[in-house]
Amino acid sequence: MSNLSQKFRESFISYLKNPHSAKSKENFMSYAFAIYEDAVTHCGLEPDKYINHMFKMIKPAVQGIKISPDIAKKLDGFIRTLSFSDKKENQAFHVLNICYNLMSPKKSCLREVIKNFLILQDKLGQEEFIVTNRNFSGSFFLSNADVSNVRAKKSVIDDLIMLVSNEVFKASKETGEKFFPVSFDAKQKIQYIEKHIDWLSEKECGQILYNLLQKIKPILSAKGNSADIKDHAEYMTDSGKRSALMIHSFNDKWFFTFLAKMVKTIKEALGMKTSAEHLLENSVDEAEKAEVTLK
């Protein structure tokens, strides 16, 4: 561990002991900014390069440190405040973000997943409105199959959001209503559920992610066995439209790819091996059996 990483670790521990202290905040921010400056000096302003440099410095610095959900919530608030600050050191929030994600990988993953689901739900809602109305008006380019298509996709996303939000609200200690107000748009829903996620422990977030993973898996397998999937949209009839996923929706490769990426992201956060890693291991095993060395 470099000297700067060690200093950052010490300032982080000091901050965790007294997160309300102005002195500990200032010290923590100063060393975070020093890491940012070091990264930019060595790597320039290309994000992929300097972020990777910062990650390598921060990871050993936070090794073995554990934080409670309450402290994680305070750290997140400190990072948000710093990101909107006019101070020169506000770029330190990049370092602190990496620090937070390393300390709470499952919570960060859960927030990112539900955010993407809510954004997609909003877009599919707009698409459904346009497609349904244009088809009703007699568009030459649209048919009932296209309406079934978008409704089936939205139904899947609605179902996944319901699963996640119900479990988050159930575990959260945040005061107030444990559901999304009808008047909320996507941005407001994201902010609302993030407040509830802040109260959750890493263990609780991990369990929700695992349950979500089990829910998504049969949806992905429906690409080859779509009869396993039943949509739950109230406005879809049993006749014909229930087969929309099999006939239409999964022809849209982006939708399948979106869910596959969510699975990959969740598996990485849970420390589970992805398909690519399993394939690599199998390749190595087969090569060893054939007495071939992979370099």
Q: Please, what are the averages of pLDDT over each run of 10 residues along the chain (295 residues)? A: 91 93 94 95 89 91 84 88 87 91 86 94 87 71 74 89 96 86 93 89 92 89 51 45 44 77 90 62 50 46
pLDDT of residue 226: 46
pLDDT of residue 162: 96
pLDDT of residue 275: 56
292-to-226, 278, 284 alpha-carbon distances in Å: 40, 18, 9
Q: Are residues 253 and 123 in the same domain?
A: yes
> What is 112-152 written as a DSSP string?
HHHHHHHHHHHHHHHHHHHHHHHHHTT-TT--HHHHHHHHH
Q: Are residues 8 and 24 in the same domain?
A: yes
What residue numbers bound the domain in which 233 lies?
Answer: 105-282
Q: Which of 54, 82, 103 is the last residue of a domain?
A: 103
pLDDT of residue 117: 96
Q: Look at residue 295 and tell me if it is in a domain.
A: no
pLDDT of residue 231: 47
Q: Are residues 11 and 92 in the same domain?
A: yes
pTM, two decimals, is 0.66
pLDDT of residue 130: 79
Q: Are residues 72 and 146 in the same domain?
A: no
